[in-house]
Amino acid sequence: MRADLEIIAEWISPKARVLDMGCGDGELLDVLSQQKQVDGLGLEIDHDNITRCIARGVNVIEKNLDEGLASIDDASFDNVVMTQALQVMHRPDLIVEEMLRIGKEGIVTFPNFAHWRARFYLAFRGKMPVSKFLSYSWYDTPNIHFCTFKDFEALCIERNIRIIERTVVDNEHRQRWWHKLWPNMMGEIAIYRITR
Amino acid sequence: MPASLPTDSVGIVTPELIHFSEPLSLASGRVLPEYDLMVETYGELNADCSNAVLICHALSGHHHAAGFHSESDKYPGWWDSAIGPGKPIDTDRFFVVSLNNLGGCHGSTGPTSIDPNTGKPYGPDFPFVTVGDWVISQVRLADRLGIQRWAAVVGGSLGGMQAMQWAIDYPDRLGHALVIASSPKLTAQNIAFNEVARQAISKDPQFHDGRYYDHDALPKTGLSLARMIGHITYLSDDGMAEKFGREMRTGELSFDLNTQFQVESYLRYQGEKFSTAFDANTYLLMTKALDYFDPASEYDDDLAKALSHASCKFLVVSFTTDWRFSPERSREITDALVAANKDVSYAEIDSDHGHDAFLIDSPRYMAVFRAYMDRVANELNLGVTP
């Protein structure tokens, strides 16, 4: 399993009701249901991923998250997870609000645009960063709302969102000592555990 | 039938008429003293009777869902795209049961059957039946076949309503419900279309208040009109544009009322074909069953509350251009299931075929259908398709 999913799994209680927004092929929910007997539901827009979820027995609902989640009741899930999807949302702030309306706790992961490689790329090349990890050009990228760890934490303060835990990893989801030293410069992906 | 049987066909099948002598009390308060159900099965029931799948038909459907009745059959059963060896409902793994519902006109007891009290056809005196009544009759069929629990109950449109009703009324007797191109209840527009269809039939001079059998007559014009109206609602604007456009049968305008556009000719053909193949009283009764379906009405109009009784898992599927039972209706079902904390998956399939899309083989639809049925089979350890 992807290392970030392992970290997320640690933050989820057994038998919790978990909503995975942008659940991909259902890997996280599949593992959570096997290891922690969670009651999981995924939301996904990609057709092939939806079929993969169904095939592996993960409950999945075809949904464009940008259209909102008004049909889901308040506090109906224990955990709402969103991995690597915040930056593709039209309004990341609203989706974070929705996560905490629907769930008691939210878990968010996103790439850090203030990572030193991105900073150097922009500083010295004068072009929007393209890397193996973020391989799109500016005009075709689905990632329309990049932010940095600092940006996200500022949003949390502004919206009265409490950060319970934060883990910073590299693009292979490994935790390194230098991430702790200067996370907003050294970390590539952050995993936040948030609540109200 | 094609020159040789396709390898993924269930082949030549023979329906069976099953008699039920125990009276059936209906939602209307009336009682059917006895009745028959016309049934077809495909595949083999396994030793622990765990691999049975019930197919529920839609408005004009019947028991003949797959395969051919004879070598001279031109077309296979109505859901042959989905049922057969290696198909989504894989008859190498599942035992499939398909019936003609009560009130139908394909062999099960209905308006054309003889009323034992009068010795004459029931005609308009055949009691109106509801989706709930059908499910009760299907429970008795399951009992007769030795099936305590269906691996899945599957249906499109009105058939999907039966799957939902099963889930609510008999939660212990099914593992999965597949609700395809369906709706939790009809909208005013749906009922309006049904009413126009009913009026077309009942205003036909040949209808004779439903006693056309006694007059050696058939309300062909009315039934044909009803079918034409229905047919328009089964197709999509895009689909019709693509299939017919404004194509004409002759090159120039004739300035009379003869059929000029291909779409007119197509609709007339569909209507006429249906008017001799289907019974008008059955059509009236089936449209009423549709109108009446509203499981939430018994639970404070709260669909989630109604579905909270279910214990099976659900697959809900809709089609983008379906305006009869639009994706919005399927999302209502899905949302209610999420609110009731049920296991549900939902897919919205891109299609130009409108409501009819649920009967048509399309890659993504079949992939989703197959993936779900594979999951059903895996849960029951029914083995994998070779």
Buried b (16+ CB within 10 A) or exposed e, B321-334: bbbbbbbebbbbbb
| Chain B contact probe: residue of A33, A45, A61 with most B CBs at under 10 A | A61
pLDDT per residue over A97-119, tens digit each? 999 999 999 999 988 877 777 77
Is B352 in the active site?
no
For residue A147, list its beta bridge partners: A112
3-state secondary structure of A92: helix
- Rounded CA separation B188/B203 (Å): 22
- Rounded CA separation B36/B59 (Å): 19
pLDDT at B298: 95
pLDDT at A133: 63
Is B157 in the active site?
yes
Contact status, residue B235 vs residue B210, Cβ threshold 8 Å: no
pLDDT at A111: 85
- Rounded CA separation B257/A102 (Å): 59
Residues of chain B with pLDDT under 70: 1, 384-386
B105: amino acid identity, one letter: C
Name which of B97, B128, B90, B41 is nearest B385 in CA terms: B90
pLDDT at A132: 63
A42: amino acid identity, one letter: G
Q: Which residue among B331, B341, B368 places its CB closest to the CB of A51?
A: B368
Buried b (16+ CB within 10 A) or exposed e, A120-138: ebeeeeeebbeeeebeeee
The separation between CA B292 and the C-alpha centre of its own chain, rounded to angstroms, equals: 16
Structural tokens at position B136? 């009760």
- Rounded CA separation B261/B27 (Å): 45
Name which of B374, B385, B382 is nearest B178 in CA terms: B374
Question: Which residues of chain A neighbour B364 with C-beta distances below 8 Å?
Answer: 47, 51
- CB within 8 Å: B346 and A62: yes
Name which of A59, A86, A61 is nearest A72 in CA terms: A61
Question: Which residues of chain A neighbour B385 with C-beta distances below 8 Å?
Answer: none
pLDDT at B386: 43
pLDDT per residue over B328-342, tens digit each? 999 999 999 999 999
Q: Where are the alpha helices (DSSP H) in A47-190?
A: 47-55, 92-102, 116-120, 149-158, 177-181, 183-186
Name which of A51, A7, B176, A35 is nearest A23 in CA terms: A51
pLDDT confidence tier of residue A1, bands split at 50, 70 and 90: low
Structural tokens at position B377? 């089979």
Name which of B107, B78, B120 is nearest B210 in CA terms: B120
A11 CA: distance to closest CA in chain B (Å): 22
Number of C-beta neighbours around residue A186 at 10 A: 18
Contact status, residue B218 vs residue B236, Cβ threshold 8 Å: no
- Rounded CA separation B240/B261 (Å): 12
Contact status, residue A114 vs residue A149, Cβ threshold 8 Å: yes
Predicted ipTM? 0.93
What's phi and psi for A111, nearest 5 deg? -80, 145
- Rounded CA separation B325/B207 (Å): 29
- The secondary element (H helix, E strand) that includes residue B250 is none
The separation between CA B1 and the C-alpha centre of its own chain, rounded to angstroms, equals: 23
For residue B155, list its beta bridge partners: B56, B179
Question: Which residues of chain B neighbour A29 with C-beta distances below 8 Å?
Answer: none
Report percent pLDDT > 70 for chain A: 95
Provide the total of helices (H) and of strands (E) in chain A, helices listed first. Answer: 8, 7
Taking CB atoms and an 8 Å cut-off, how many pairs form between chains A and B? 53
Is B176 in the active site?
no
pLDDT at B201: 98
Name which of B59, B54, B56, B55 is nearest B324 in CA terms: B59
pLDDT at A131: 72
pLDDT at B110: 98
Q: Where are the alpha helices (DSSP H) in chain B?
A: 131-145, 158-169, 188-202, 220-234, 237-243, 262-277, 280-292, 303-307, 327-339, 363-379
Question: Which residues of chain B neighbour A71 with C-beta distances below 8 Å?
Answer: 331, 335, 338
Instruction: For tokens 């004879």, name the residue.
Output: B70
Q: Which residue among B335, B374, B379 places its CB closest to the CB of A55?
A: B374
pLDDT per residue over A56-112, tens digit each? 999 999 999 999 899 999 999 999 999 988 888 999 999 999 999 999 999 999 888
pLDDT at A138: 81
